[in-house]
Amino acid sequence: MSNSNQKITALYCRLSQEDMKDGESVSIENQRFILQKYADDHGFLNCKFYIDDGYSGANFNRPAFKEMMAEVENKNVSAVIVKDQSRLGRDYLQTGMLMEVTFPQYDVRFIAINDGVDSANGTSDYAGIRNYFNDLYARDTNRKIRAVQRAKGERGERVGTKIPYGYMKNPDDPKQLLPDPETAPIVKRIFEMYANGIGIRKICSKFCEEQILSPSAYALRKTGRKTRGLDMDKPYYWEHGTVRFMLSNRIYCGDTVNFQTYSKSNKLKKRIKNDDKNILIFENTHESIIDRKTFDLVQKHFESRKRPDKHGEMDKYAGYLYCGDCGKRLYLHRNKAEEKTCFMCSNYQKGKYDCTCHYIRVQILEQIVLENLRSVTAFARNDPEKFYAMAAKNGEAEAKKFMKESKHQKEQFTGRITQLDSIIRCLYEDRVTGRITPERYDSLANGYEQEQSQLKSKLSELESQIDSVNLREECIRRFMERAKEYIEMPALTPELLRTFIRRIEVYEKPEKYSRTCGNTIVIHYTFEVKTHQI
């Protein structure tokens, strides 16, 4: 393009969400009108609009801007016209570089109509100052947005804009999440498959075979927006990392987790992982898709070795099996001969700790656990009253007596704490009005505050004991109900482990390396809850 008239006159428009607050004057339509009129009045030819709607001026990764700059670098642009300098950008360093270096380098005339800037008339001494104040505006806006987001996050509101796969916005309250009837069952299925010992790779392959749209492909179908990394030729391809992230996301059990990442400034877009102490977690803020027990079980699997076998299945004992002596996990050792596949203590394997092998074959462990489970569940079905008394240890009568006494104590503690609040308030009024001396006030108030602190501590301990008793009873009742559902137990499945067992401890054989002497095994069932003495 040797003739300058054949080159493009780039008319660039940009509008961000913050700019919308300024009204119609900065709307895309108004910018288009101003730019087109200016081009027509001043004889600019071959005009082409480049429009970025909804992009911040501090962000130079805008699609239309990048397209325009590609034409500039290819020497296809004769002039760039904007309404004002802030439309080009609000980072004074990069905007200044464009105006003073890049555009002159490619012989591009730059015009900012409202600012009276035209590079054909030479550089303006005020252009750099305007760029600085535009940058200052962007930083101030970013600071205000961060403050608003921080306040929202501390109140327990979601600060993220992306709706997690499996959820949708509540039509009546956009701030509230509701399970998506189309994708929530898929999320639930992912958790159940993994909890039942099916590995992530096999889950992804299964979904691909069943032609279930991947989260990014589903989002494109639902919103029309294409996410980065989506391959339109593979709409059913599930990324392993996507499933792994979903399995660790607490949002699916009804929790809101805020401030997991942060950026150092408005000019650095990279998100940095936050320290655990700065992350805020609010439980039960919306309807859950996954029950908390299943979610916790999945996290226990992640803490253990997660390598699947050749069939893509996980070790079903991961997160359940522990060394009875040192407390560390027992890891699975697969063998070509299936009957020799075994578990061994992880501390012993490392060779750095004083612990023994705790060798036990999988078939032996399976037989012991299954037989014991059948016996305990049969006891719960056939003689529920005795089972409850055994599980509750102190018996139902003692538990009822404790609850009655604790209720009376709780009323006494609460009443006295309220009474002390009134006494301290009256003392303070007497001190202010001069009826008692400051020294006398300090002496009396300290004594009352100390008593109040002790009562609050006792009340907290009492409430903890009440919660433990309630939790224990709930766990026992739930165990008994599920024992009626699982009558036939032909094999020990991950589902049975998840339903009935909390922890399995394997102790070393009394006679080390003995082929006839077995390991001592202690099974902790889900009805066993650690409680305070009552």
Residue 393's alpha-carbon distances to 397, 472, 531, in angstroms, are: 11, 11, 11
* Residue with token string 């691909």: 208
Tell me how many degrees the CA angle 485-490-494 measures, rounded to the nearest 5: 70
pLDDT at 469: 61
For residues 129 and 241, what is the distance between their CA atoms, to the nearest angstrom?
A: 47
Tokens matching residue 277: 């102490």
For residues 222 and 225, what is the distance between their CA atoms, to the nearest angstrom?
A: 8
For residues 189 and 186, what is the distance between their CA atoms, to the nearest angstrom?
A: 5
For residues 249 and 256, what is the distance between their CA atoms, to the nearest angstrom?
A: 10
Q: Are 322 and 329 in contact (CB under 8 A)?
A: yes
- Single-letter residue type at 287: E
For residues 56 and 64, what is the distance between their CA atoms, to the nearest angstrom?
A: 13
- The overall longest dimension of the chain from CA atoms, in Å, is 101
How many CA atoms are closer than 13 Å to the CA of 222, on its beta-carbon side?
18
Helices (H), 393-488: 395-433, 438-485
pLDDT at 400: 58
Tell me how many degrees the CA angle 297-298-301 measures, rounded to the nearest 5: 90
For residues 64 and 49, what is the distance between their CA atoms, to the nearest angstrom?
A: 9
Instruction: Name the CATH topology of 4-140.
Output: Rossmann fold (3.40.50)
Alpha-carbon dihedral angle through residues 377, 383, 387, 390, given to the nearest 10 degrees? -130
Residue 216's alpha-carbon distances to 18, 238, 257, 484, in angstroms, are: 28, 9, 22, 42
For the chain, helix (H) and strand (E) counts, in that order, are 17, 17
Written as tens digits, the pLDDT of the chain (534 aa) is: 444 458 999 999 998 876 665 555 578 888 999 999 999 999 999 999 999 988 888 888 899 999 999 999 999 999 999 998 888 988 878 888 898 889 999 999 999 998 888 888 876 666 666 766 666 666 666 677 677 777 777 777 777 778 888 888 888 887 888 898 999 999 999 998 888 778 888 888 889 889 988 888 888 888 777 776 677 788 888 888 888 888 988 889 888 888 877 676 656 566 777 777 778 888 888 888 988 888 887 887 776 555 555 555 667 787 788 898 888 888 888 777 777 888 888 888 776 567 888 888 888 898 999 999 999 899 988 888 888 777 776 445 455 555 666 777 778 888 888 888 888 888 888 888 888 888 888 888 888 888 888 888 887 777 766 666 666 677 788 888 888 888 888 888 887 887 888 889 999 888 776 667 788 899 988 877 543 333
Domain edges within the chain:
4-140, 167-303, 321-525
Helices (H), 285-394: 292-303, 346-350, 362-382, 384-392
Q: Give me the phi and psi of 144, to 5 degrees please.
A: -65, -40
Helices (H), 269-345: 292-303
pLDDT at 128: 63
Looking at 3.30.950, 3.30.43, 3.90.1750, 3.40.50, the CATH number of the domain 167-303 comes to 3.90.1750
Q: What is the CA radius of gyration of the chain?
A: 34
DSSP H or E run through 193: helix 184-195
DSSP state of 84: S
- Single-letter residue type at 43: G
- HEC letters along 229-282: CCCCCCCCCCCHHHHHHHHCCHHHHCCEEECCEECCECCECCCEECCHHHCEEE
DSSP secondary structure string, 497-528? HHHHEEEEEEPPPSSTT-SSSPPPEEEEETT-
Cα dihedral across residues 156, 162, 166, 170: positive or negative: positive
pLDDT at 77: 93
Tokens matching residue 485: 């559902």
For residues 48 and 31, what is the distance between their CA atoms, to the nearest angstrom?
A: 13
Tokens matching residue 507: 């102790």
